Amino acid sequence: MIKITSLEDLPALPITTTLQAQVKSILTEPFHDAAETQQAWDELQCELWFLTSKSELSAVVVDDIEMLKRALTYTEFEDELDYGATLTLSVVEDSGKGIYMLMPKTLLTELRQYFSIEND
C-alpha cells in the first residue's frame, strides 16, 4: 500500500498518466485549483491510499487496518476510472479527515467481502 498526502506525489504512483489525470481531476474538482485542494487536504489531514492486492494487508499496521475497515464501511462516493480502477472517498474521523482509496474495482469488492462489510 502506498499512501500520499500531497497531490504533487501523484506521479510517484505506479499508474498510467491517463489514470493520474483522472484521479487529479476528481480530487481537485470541488476546489478552484490544486493549491486550494492541497490546502484543504492539509487542514483535514486527507490521504490517498493506493492498493493493488489483498496480500498487501499483511504488511499494514493494525491502526491502518482499522482505518481501512472504517473507510470501506463509510464510503461517501465511488468513481469508476479507466483500466478497471476505482477511486473512493470516506470520511473516517469527526475532524473531517478523508481517505481516498485508489484500487482495482475487483479489489474493492474483495476487501469488502474479506472484512464482511455490506455495501449499500
pTM, two decimals, is: 0.93
Q: Using a CB cutoff of 8 Å and minimum separation of 24, what contacts does 85-89 make?
A: 85/15, 85/19, 87/22, 87/23, 87/26
Q: Which residues pair with 90 in a beta bridge?
A: 75, 99
In this prediction, residue 118 has a pLDDT band, given cuts at 50, 70 and 90, of: confident
What integer is the mean pLDDT of 20-48?
A: 94
| More reliable by pLDDT, 56 or 103 | 103
Please state, as a whole number, how many other Cβ atoms lie within 10 Å of the Cβ of residue 116.
7
Q: How many CA atoms lie within 13 A of 47 on its CB side?
A: 15
3-state secondary structure of 6: coil
pLDDT for residue 112 is more than 90: yes
Instruction: Name the pLDDT band for 119 (thresholds 50, 70, 90).
Output: low
pLDDT digits (tens, 9 = 90+) for 52-97: 999 888 888 888 999 999 999 999 999 999 999 999 999 999 998 9
Grid cell, residue 92, equals 473516517
Q: Which amino acid is at 60?
A: V
